[in-house]
Amino acid sequence: MTTPFGPQLIGETEKTLTALLRRFLAETGLSEPQWVTLRVAQLYGADDTEGLAAAVADRAHFPDATVLVGSLTDRGLLEDGRLTPAGRDVISSVLAASERQTGGIWRDHPAADLEATTRVLNQVLARARVLLD
């Protein structure tokens, strides 16, 4: 059964991918919000702990972003809002496991489909963010 484009399809996709992610995180003891916090630190950077918490709150809409950053700092995965070598190792390990098991989900899509999907999902995201402001 094909789900038409819209909130249900996006939601089902997100929930399914999150369930897969939880499998990869199980050995790390990280929660999905902690993983997202690490990825925000990796992809967007921050100048300090407060800056990272603000970036996480903005990008992921986690109201407990400061607590998340603090818990990852306590675990030695972050320091001053930046990834530590241990934090980088955890990310590399989880991404490698994900690629081994789910790489086929992402490969072999026509370039035009990927471009259109990227464009549409970024438009949906931008429009949704406007509603949150």
For the segment 37-45, the average pLDDT, to the nearest whole number, is 94
pLDDT of 120 reads 96
How far is Cα 72 from Cα 125, in angstroms, rounded to an integer?
27
The stretch 34-52 carries a mean pLDDT of 94
Residue 40: other Cβ atoms inside 10 A: 23
Strand partners, 83: 78
pLDDT tens figures, 92-113: 999 999 999 999 998 899 999 9
> Is the confidence at residue 1, as pLDDT, over 90?
no
pLDDT score of 132 = 87
Domains and CATH numbers, the chain: 7-106 (1.10.10.10)
Instruction: State which H helix or E strand residue 130 sits in.
Output: helix 111-132
